[in-house]
Amino acid sequence: MDLRLNDGWQIRPIGGSTGMAYMGIKEHQKLFIKRNTSPFLAALSLEEITPRLVWTKHISTGDTLTAQEWLNGRCLSKTEMPQKNVAALLAKIHSSALLKKMLKQVGGTYVFPSDLLSEYFRGLSSDLRQHPLLKKVANRLRSQQPELKWQDYRVSHGDLNHKNWLLSDSGRLYLVDWESASLADPALDLSMLMRQYVPRQQWQTWLLEKYQVQATPQLQQRLEWYGLLNLLLEIKEFHQRGRFFEMNRDILDLAELVKQEHFIDL
């Protein structure tokens, strides 16, 4: 695709699974350029959640390019994810009334527990649909959907993999790749992050001391529900991609989780 600009910027692909990210070079300047990002990026830049937005341009192909400041830095490692700066940035996102307002203005959708269940069952292979453990877990999750008023839903990133956290050389932390953003129960993001990176015995301490919220029984139940649902979605994805080793590993993890007292009684 021809992404040439008329003001001297050279555009070079920089890889990635979507093929939509580029480096912009003009003389001694560098910018991070992406094609057809959400207009929500402007609010994220204003709140300093993502690197600063420099400009937005519409080009002859009909695409929209956004340019952000180019920051030297690195992604966080898995072992860095439980740190307080990660929890603090996530808490800032979840508590921001501006982000919620802006996401609604650009057409952000609400994601309810029933939507996630529908996503799991949609196109589910017969192998997984009839698997005794997966069937039992999915049916129980369907009968015990968490209840949270939609007015209490917040901006949710939806993909809190450690590779989406950028630590600049100056020590500033950013969260990038917002294509999966929605308005959802904050427990959706929290369960995704905590299940992958925070040891279960540290959950209450992490929530209280780093995310700064009390781990009430209601919140605990919601975290457990979304954690199990996310695991089902991950198993489905691995099956679709033919990654059966990872799929079976997750099934074993699921079997272990449902044995533990603090999980929903299955």
Question: What confidence tens digit (pLDDT) does each residue in 123-146 have?
Answer: 999 999 999 999 999 999 999 999
Confidence of residue 27 (pLDDT cuts 50, 70, 90): confident
Confidence (pLDDT) at 248: 97
Phi and psi angles of residue 174, each rounded to the nearest 5 degrees, phi first: -130, 155
Confidence of residue 35 (pLDDT cuts 50, 70, 90): confident
Among the listed residues 194, 206, 205, the one whose alpha carbon sits nearest the alpha carbon of residue 231:
194
Confidence (pLDDT) at 20: 73
27 vs 162, more confident? 162
The answer to whether 225 and 144 are in contact (CB under 8 A) is yes
The answer to whether 65 and 56 are in contact (CB under 8 A) is yes
> Which residues are part of the catalytic machinery?
159
Which structural domains are found in the chain, ordered by start? 10-70 (3.30.200), 75-257 (3.90.1200.10)
The answer to whether 46 and 95 are in contact (CB under 8 A) is no
Confidence (pLDDT) at 1: 43
Write out the two tokens for 119: 């996503």
Helix (H) or strand (E) holding 246: helix 244-257
Q: Letter for the amino acid at 168?
A: S
Task: List, for residues 63-81, the tens digit of each pLDDT value.
Answer: 788 888 999 999 999 999 9
